[in-house]
Structure 1
Amino acid sequence: MDNLRKLDLNLLLTLNALLIERNVTRAAARLHLSQPSVSVQLGKLRVAFEDPLLLPGPRGMLPTARALALLAPLQAVLAQLEQVLLPVAAFDPAQAQVEWKLAAADAAEYAILLPMLPALRAQAPLSRMAVHEAVPARMAQQLENGQIDLGFVAQEEAPAGLRHRPLFREHYVLAGRHDHPLLQSPPSLDQFCALEFIVVSTNGGGYRTAVDTTLEQLGRQRKVVLSVPHFLIVPHLLAASDMVAMLPSRLLKNALGGLRTWEPPVSIPDYDMAMVWHERMHLDPAHRWLREQIAARL
């Protein structure tokens, strides 16, 4: 590597042209340079290789033994450099054997991945996908070290320094079973606080959400009787009990038929769901294709 640092790699192109043409004038024409420029570069090459490389001869220039030994490896190296510098090939999903690693909470899996998977399987049949649990506190590190390629989080939880793209705005609705005795009409605030709630605590064991903070600002409190770590079990629990829950509306788009929803009597802020990725993957053709497929189906 020290030798490479000392040498202008453009000189290797000049050496290759000189060894092929064995004539400074023709080498200059091949390189689209002036003859004096090529002569100067030949002088630099002689110093770098500590060898005359090309000597005057009766019909042009004669390569030295060192120059002849350099010709084959030099042309191999230049060919490899050409490959390195070629434009990135277009992504062909039909032929790509690629693995994508995503991180999403189960509600995001339902709202984002479920709609796009049929098209993904049809267009990229040789691909495969692994979905990891989304942990916003670890997402930046996971994206940086390649453990995951793409993450899905609420916009406000997106780690700083990452690329991101909003996908949709989500809001919470009050959900319960269709024949719930206390949910036959939109509940008042008093009725809302008297209901028995399930909350989703992705970190495990929590009983508070933004709903409780909003109620406390009004001097009110609700009854939270169950905390679960995942969203997708909640519709089943609601259908089999008198418990209720505040759930993302998209989660209930194709939920059990025995549920009904109401707008809550308190104002709960909406949130933007976003996908996030590291700068290192931003220009990758396969990654860009996947991002476009996801965004197109929401």
Structure 2
Amino acid sequence: MDNTLRRIDLNLLVTLQALLDAQNVTRAAARLHLAQPTVSVQLGRLRDLFDDPLLLPGPRGMRTTARADALRAPLADALAALERAVAPTRAFDPAQASNTWQVMASDYGESTVLLPALPGLRRAAPGTRLAVVELAPRRMVEQAERGDIDLAFHIASDAPPALHHRPLFTERYVLAGRAGHPKLKRRPTLTQFCALEHVIVSPMGGGFHGVTDEALARVGAQRRVALSVPHFLYLRSVISRTDMVAMVPARLVADDPSLRVVEAPIDVPGYQMVMLWHERVHRDPAHRWLRDQIAQAVKG
């Protein structure tokens, strides 16, 4: 089949379709905006290619052979499919879309990126669906390459260079505890801060050391980390119901009436949150629309 295709000039197939429809060389030439002798030459080449006369003289023009009749439907389908394949990409219409998007995010990304974006996505593209899968940085590139995920949300410092990325926002850390916490009526001193019982998020599980501890070590201080949990949302439940406190991303606890938020007595470096995607969807109109919607929703 490959050898046959290499021998075929696609323009001949377009001419064949016109000849089968018109059953007349002159009318086919006019439809194709070609000279009649040119179409006659192409008909000769088609007869050689298919080893069949294809069109025979008849009382009212020309009549098709059985081989030509058998070619009519598959030829029309093939040319229509080819035209669709090479046609310019259509603009994305979110109101008519039925896409299912797969995104990779941690519970933090779900709360600070997807949750703000969700109302706008539902209003603009009500026929679409969104599936959130657990953040797995080590599998991110592989899953994006395979098309298992469309987008991922992660911190810029750990973003794989193989993926495109778009900054979403810069996050900073604040100290949070339950509303009415007796030790958080005001910003604590460094000594008071270190004496509090802290909760830490350890995404890989079981860790008791993080960026706050590194910042404390640089000034010769150490805090009390009493609990390590794998998710930010569980951490938020813990600090809202106990006297434990945590250094948390500010966006995660903004406007939460169950929590008291104050500035920490030590400067802990924040991070940049980015959106990640693979080259395979970089120019896709639907994907570009989705990225723009999310970026706009979390701006500020």
Check if 1:267 corresponds to 2:267: yes
- Summarize the alignment of residues 184-263 of structure 1 with structure 2, pairs less than 5 Å apart: 184-262=185-263
Give the alignment of 1:1-298 within 5 angstroms: 1-2=1-2, 3-35=4-36, 37-54=38-55, 63-262=64-263, 264-298=264-298
**What is the TM-score normalised by the length of structure 1?**
0.85
In the alignment, the residues of structure 2 paired with residue 294 and residue 165 of structure 1 have an alpha-carbon distance, to the nearest angstrom, of 11
Superposition deviation, residue 249 in structure 1: 0.4
Deviates more, 1:57-66 or 1:185-194: 57-66
The structure-2 alpha-carbon separation of the partners of 1:76 and 1:296, relative to structure 1 and needing over 3 Å to count, comes to same
TM-aligned CA distance change 1:5 to 1:237, over 3 Å: same
Instruction: For residue 252 of structure 1, report the CA deviation from its aligned partner.
Output: 0.9
Give me the whole-angstrom Cα distance separating, in 2, the residues matched to 1:272 and 1:146: 25
Point out where structure 1 has 5 or more consecutive residues left out of the alignment: none
Using the size of structure 2 for normalisation, the TM-score is: 0.85
What amino acid maps onto 2:105 in structure 1? A
> Aligned partners of 2:57, 2:240: CA distance in 1, in Å?
94
Partner-residue secondary structure (3-state), 1:233: helix
AA at the equivalent of 1:276: L
SS state of the match for residue 232, structure 1? helix
From the superposition, tell whether residues 72 and 109 of structure 1 become closer, same or farther in structure 2 (CA, over 3 Å): closer
- C-alpha offsets along residues 6-32 of structure 1, whole Å, 9 cap, x if unaligned? 322222002222333455454343223
Shift of 1:201: 0.9
Between the aligned partners of 1:203 and 1:243, the Cα distance in structure 2 is 21
- C-alpha distance in 1 between matches for 2:158 and 2:34: 56
- Give me the whole-angstrom Cα distance separating, in 1, the residues matched to 2:230 and 2:120: 30
- Give the % identical residues: 57
Which letter does structure 1 place at the counterpart of 2:176? A
CA distance in 1, matches of 2:185, 2:77: 78
Query: Counterpart of 1:149 in structure 2: which amino acid?
Result: D
- Asked if structure 2 preserves the Cα contact closer than 8 Å seen for 1:23 and 1:61, the reply is yes
Over the aligned positions, Cα root-mean-square deviation in angstroms equals 2.8
Q: How many residue pairs end up in the alignment?
A: 297
The whole-number CA distance in structure 1 between the counterparts of 2:67 and 2:259 is 85
